[in-house]
Structures are given as C-alpha cells and as structure tokens.
Structure 1
C-alpha cells in the first residue's frame, strides 16, 4: 500500500522527518491505548453483541451523495482561500479564510510566519468541525442499516476518543512544519536577490510566495483526504451489498 497523500506531500517538501516503518495495525493501535482506556474498551466489548439496529430504513445511495456533497463543499472552501470561487463563497454568505497580505512589511516581520500558521490552523479547525458533522450523519445511518453495522458504529464511537486524540496530536505539528517551509523559501529568495525584491512579483506565477501558497493549498487538500478516510470506510459499509461476517 502506498503512502497517504499527506505523507507524500510532506516528503516531497522535505518536511517528513522519517518514513514510517511497517507495523501491524493492531500493534500500532495497542500502543495508543492506556490502562484506563483498555478497561473501558473491555467493558464495551462485553455488550457489543447486544447492540441492534434502529427501525428506520436507510437509503445507501443518499449517503453516497451526501458524502460527495460534503467533500466537494470542503474542497471548495479550501480553494476559495486561494482565490478560486471566492466571490461565490462570499455571495453565499460563507466564511473565507484569507491568505495573509503580501508586502515588504508583513513578509519581513517575524509575525509573517505566525500569520501563515494561524491561517492553516483556522482551516484545520474548520475541517475538523465539518468532518465531525458528516461523521455523525454516517454513524446514524450505520446504526439503522443492520445489527452488524450498528455494532460497527458502536465500535467506531468507542475507539473515536483514542484515535481523535492521536490524530490531533499529529496534525497539530503541521503549522510548525509549514513555518519551517516558509522560512526556507524566504531565505532562498533573499540569497537570490541583492535587494529584498518586489512582493508583487513573488505572488505571480513562478514566484517563491506563489509556490508556497500552492504548497499550502495542496497540503490542505491532502489533509482533507486523510481526515475523510475513516468516513469512506463507513460509507463503504453502508453501500456494500456483502453482509459483514463475524469470526466465530
């Protein structure tokens, strides 16, 4: 299996410290669980087989369409920050997180790095909020599809606090990595120019700042793909024609 798009992007930018080793997923998961969480999970598994589906009918096609609509909206929200479809977003009353202003003062000041970190963090918070909303909807549909999928949904809810804590810790490092990349490109630009140069040229095609903005946009899309992977697994369960079989 290939690397996740986010890992590939970070590796391409020289921001991945090392290539993760191949480990059995169960062992990786076990490393994240402390004693109190293990006790809670043990109690949960004693009740898992008793969980049954709700009585509502579920339209799997509607769930598929809902997922695609939410994913497209989140992608459009990212792109609007970089100018693509910004006016449509604003006219629809949607929030657009604007890129930091590019001029000599803002790009030379120490705050320049922090402003890009804040920009990325705002997008991360918004992605987490919107993915969480979609996850809740898919869970509700899993709970009504069948007894087996209701149990899958219950397992997802039980493991979620552990996995969310781990993913937040990992993704929280991205703004720092972005700052490092910004400083690298800015230093390279200063070494190339005898003078600071014209910021208006930096944001044009081929400029170092335009390149950095493009990298930011690609990283945000890669992070969105990563955040949606668990939900795609839930969606696959909803739309699959094959029943889930338990090991005896």
Structure 2
C-alpha cells in the first residue's frame, strides 16, 4: 500500500502555522515576497500618501509630555490585562439570541466563538488606542521621529482594514478545528445526550476538548503578539534617544 506523502511544513510566524493547521490547508513552501504583497494592498492614493510621508521635508516636532516609564508601564498593563482575559474562564452558556449566521454554527462551539470574538474586539480596541497615543508622543520627540509617526499612521490606515478582514476568518477556522477534533475524539452520544432547555445537545467533554481549548488559547496569544508588533516598534523608537 502506498503511503501518503507527508505535508510540507508551513513556513512563517507561529500564528500562520496555527491557522494552516486549523484549516487543514497546504500553504506554499515559499512565502510571498513582502514588497509584492504590499503592492497588492496599496492603491495609488495610499502609495502617493506614503511617498509624501517619506519624501517631504521633515515635519516639525510638536509640544507635549515626554515619553517616560509611566507610559511604558501602561502598555505592559494593557498587555497583561489582555493576557488575563484570554486565560479567563469561558462562559459556556449558549447565547439567547441567534441570528441567521449563528444558527448554522455547531452549538457546542458557540461559547468558544463568543470568547474568540470578544477577545478580538478587546485586542483591536486596546491596541488601536495605544498605537495612536504612542504615535502622538513619538511625533513630539524630534522631526525624524515625527516622520516615523506619520509613516506609521499611513501604514495603519492602509493595512488595518486588510488585517481585520484576515483576522475575521480565525473564528471560522477554530470552528472547523473544533469539529474535526470532536469527530475524531468524542464518543457517539446521539442516543442519550443530555439536552438543555433549548434542546441543544451538550458537548461531551474529553481530551479532545482540552486540546481544542489549548489550541484556541495559543491562537489568541499569537494574534495578540501580532497586534502588538506595531506598538513594540513604536516603544522601541520612543526609548531611543
């Protein structure tokens, strides 16, 4: 009997490798060239705006409070708060309202989907606010750093919509992963499964569910790291004198 050829390892950040595994997808061995991919995301209006930010004369640095350890600690506090929220207990109560999109989702996965969506919203809001504040402080340090802040603003306006569209597929991939793990590891309880008041069958627990919860946690942690990449870059620039 011929053996199935092993899947080629997926290259790239941990988040991309996780999503490829959740979606059972074969990704190209060679990742796309960054400049080519960016060219697909920039329309000519954004390209002109970025060119102006890079080529125009250095903007004047503004006036305001200097960056200090207090601001650094605030970024760490926000990050740790999001980490704690990712690790918090998940409310397994089924949602009371179910729209047309939710009706097609596995009922056992719904609480985890709600947790994932809530965490994505919290990460987007928190990191967006931090990024704006750090950029304002950077623009006040020197003309060169004011240019860097201007470039970051253009990059955020250009890439964030694309980033949010890509991150929006994460709950769906987690749902597929949940289904595969459950089908492979859960016993057949179709005849005697407990039901709740809304006739939703309870999801049987087992090692597969512990694995799924850990995988979802890993995905959220990896997404948090990606969302903090621009913030870490701004912090590094602010600390440089």
State the TM-score, normalizing by the size of structure 1: 0.73
Structure 1 residue 7: Cα displacement: 1.9
Secondary structure of the residue that 2:140 maps to in structure 1? helix
2:80 paired with 1:72: yes
Rounded Cα–Cα distance in structure 2 between residues aligned with 1:9 and 1:73: 23
Of residues 19-28 and 71-80 in structure 1, the stretch that sits farther from structure 2 once superposed is 19-28
Aligned to 1:85: none
Summarize the Cα distance change of 1:20–1:51 in structure 2 as closer, same or farther, 3 Å threshold.
farther
**Where do residues 209-224 of structure 1 align in structure 2 (5 Å cutoff)?**
209-224=209-224
Structure 1 residue 155: Cα displacement: 0.8
How many aligned residue pairs are there? 213
State the TM-score, normalizing by the size of structure 2: 0.75
Aligned to 1:56: 64
Secondary structure of the residue that 2:62 maps to in structure 1? coil
Aligned to 2:177: 181
Of residues 10-19 and 219-228 in structure 1, the stretch that sits farther from structure 2 once superposed is 10-19
Q: Which has the higher contact order (CA 8 A, sep 6+)?
A: 1
Rounded Cα–Cα distance in structure 2 between residues aligned with 1:208 and 1:185: 6
Secondary structure of the residue that 1:145 maps to in structure 2? coil
Which has more helix, going by share of residues? 1
Aligned to 1:3: 12
Aligned to 2:156: 160
**Where do residues 77-226 of structure 1 align in structure 2 (5 Å cutoff)?**
77-82=85-90, 98-100=91-93, 110-190=106-186, 193-195=187-189, 202-203=204-205, 207-226=207-226
Summarize the Cα distance change of 1:24–1:61 in structure 2 as closer, same or farther, 3 Å threshold.
farther
Rounded Cα–Cα distance in structure 2 between residues aligned with 1:68 and 1:239: 14
Cα deviations across residues 59-94 of structure 1 (Å, max 9, x unaligned)? 343333222111111101111244xxxxxxxxxxxx
Q: CA RMSD in A?
A: 2.8
Rounded Cα–Cα distance in structure 2 between residues aligned with 1:20 and 1:62: 44
Secondary structure of the residue that 1:56 maps to in structure 2? coil
Structure 1 runs not aligned, ≥5 long = 83-97, 102-108, 242-248
Indicate if the aligned counterparts of 2:22 and 2:173 stay in contact, CA closer than 8 A: no
Which contiguous aligned blocks of 4+ residues in structure 1 show a shift greater than 6 angstroms?
197-201
Aligned to 2:239: 239
